[in-house]
Structure 1
Amino acid sequence: MLPAARCTGARQLSHFATTSPRCHMIAAVGGPGASASLNKVVRGTHPALLVTSSSAIPAEEQAKLVETSKRLAAYQAVKDHLLSSYTRIGIGSGSTVVYVVEAIAALGPAATADMIFYPTGAQSEDLIEAAGLRLQYINKLPAAEQLDVAFDGADEVDADLNLIKGGGACLWQEKLVATAAKRFVCVADFRKLSARLGTSWKKGIPIEVLPMAAPRVLAELKAMGSHNPRIRPGLPGKAGAIVTDNGMWIIDAPFTPLLLPRDAEEGGIKAGNGDNGVWQVDALADKLIKIPGVAEIGLFYGNNGLEIASGAQKPVAAYFGMADGSVEVKTPIASA
């Protein structure tokens, strides 16, 4: 029997108080035509949350630094985006979301009594239940209604807030929940922030496919310039491909770092259309989703919730816990 995919992440929750941070606004990066994002740096003052940065620290300390960075980002994102009037909240998958649920649970039962939480998979379902929060499923959300906000992590985030998601094999549900929300907020640590997708996340774009279509999808990906796309294997010691909650397989398809629209404009009319395996984010995403047998792709792209009323894949804000103990917030602004 093929191993079923289960989104990874610890279930243990702990609670602690945080002090009110100070916010410092810094200039938007780049010049005309540069990233349409504004950086906000939030610095906490609670000793337990401060991170010491060092390029030569032991692996164990590095792991602690990363986890503290995730917690910093999660607490700040919840503070900024979980309003007391909200009643429907999406909860994503992955290791950073553990701290999102922790931050929500730390508000106490009175604050969350009227809130209902919608998971993206088995892991987030477990987290919601373990925290004593009210659970509901996205298929129970009335078609005419939206979630007030959804929190989720990412494997990589570029300068325009395009995302790669699906490292935990929950990308289809993650996209369903994100696009059902009025506001989608991304929470991550400093390792996930890149200028272009595919720069630091080398495993490839996760693509959820029908098992019977996998060979043809692999062939199409290679023809499009993907470098050694492969079916994601199951758990160690079990033969076969990983199987998602939807009964699908995952193909991880590495590509040359993906261009942004301004890169394509500078390179000419054909830049980013797949010549020599070089793609612009939106062009690649539009091509991938049309491959027969592809159910969903791990590129979150296009518009965000500030630009359209519903169905947005990109976040309205991305929170990054940094190695120096700060939280960097990237939000879309009008292009220069």
Structure 2
Amino acid sequence: MSIENYKLAAARHALEFVEPRMRLGLGTGSTAALFVRLLGEKVREGLEVCCVPTSEETRALAASASIPLTTLDETPLLDLTIDGADEIDGELRLIKGGGGALLREKIVATASDRMIVIADASKRVDKLGAFPLPVEAVPFGITATRNMIEMLAADSGCHGEITLRYGGDGKPFVTDGGNYIFDCAFGRLDDPESLDEALKFIPGVVENGLFLGIADAAIIAGPDGVTVIEASYGESQEAV
């Protein structure tokens, strides 16, 4: 099977956690998009749900699939968020933000009673960091903010290239919130909690792509089938 087939398998398995009249958060990215399309099929068959998208891209996709949408202002408490990840470690710590929606993704996830991550097996890692960490920052003072990221990351033992993300038009990538993103190639993160705390001290940083203690479960699909990993106070328990 291909990576796309594994993504589809994970997305399809996630539908089993969706119950009628749930308030759902809809993630952003290729795997989350597959889930949205599958959910749209269930909605057209009569499933009643109300959903908050984590990006304008997901909003457009969900609307095209006839999925009822709301906002966190109208529905501030959600039952479940289904989203993808760029990396997942054994404690269900995540790196997210490859699609540029990390701020809204984190807001929606933390407004939910439960967050389930869906991914193919290639996203599972022993240590976070092979995927560059996205850090969202306000455009004002962007160079000063970059320097602060470099300095405080170094204090946390993290070193590597910090690059401003650009779009296909050759201009800085702009998030739905009007911010920029730095991609930080720090490599192996031995203490992601320390780095997360350090980045929170920087006024120009809006959010970073470390999702720590947020995911409640992960659905991983690969050559060995679909595995569900449940978070449990820093440990993980697996069930097929």
- For normalisation by structure 2, the TM-score amounts to 0.90
Sequence identity (%): 32
Show the counterpart of 2:4.
67
The secondary structure found in structure 2 opposite 1:140 is: coil
Contact preservation (8 Å) 1:66, 1:323: no
- In structure 1, what is the Cα distance between the partners aligned to 2:73 and 2:134? 23
Pick one of 163, 170, 194 that aligns with 1:239.
170
- In structure 1, what is the Cα distance between the partners aligned to 2:40 and 2:174? 31
Show the counterpart of 1:94.
29
Per-residue Cα deviation, 1:93-129 (whole angstroms, up to 9, x for no partner): 000012211222232435423x111100111101211
Contact preservation (8 Å) 2:149, 2:202: no
| Higher-strand-fraction structure | 2
Show the counterpart of 2:139.
211
Unmatched tracts of structure 1, length 5 or more = 1-50, 52-64, 260-279, 304-313
Contact preservation (8 Å) 1:121, 1:245: yes
The secondary structure found in structure 2 opposite 1:135 is: coil
Residue correspondence of structure 1 range 151-190 to structure 2 within 5 A? 151-190=82-121
Contact preservation (8 Å) 2:103, 2:207: yes
Per-residue Cα deviation, 1:276-335 (whole angstroms, up to 9, x for no partner): xxxx1111101112112001111101x3xxxxxxxxxx21111111034x1122112355
- For normalisation by structure 1, the TM-score amounts to 0.65
| Pair 1:128 & 2:62 matched | yes
Show the counterpart of 1:83.
19
Unmatched tracts of structure 2, length 5 or more = none
| Pair 1:148 & 2:79 matched | yes
Pairwise CA distance, 1:131: 1.1
RMSD: 1.7
Show the counterpart of 2:231.
332
Contact preservation (8 Å) 1:221, 1:253: no
- In structure 1, what is the Cα distance between the partners aligned to 2:222 and 2:181? 30
Choose 1 or 2 for highest CA Rg.
1
Moved over 6 A (4+): none
- In structure 2, what is the Cα distance between the partners aligned to 1:213 and 1:206? 18
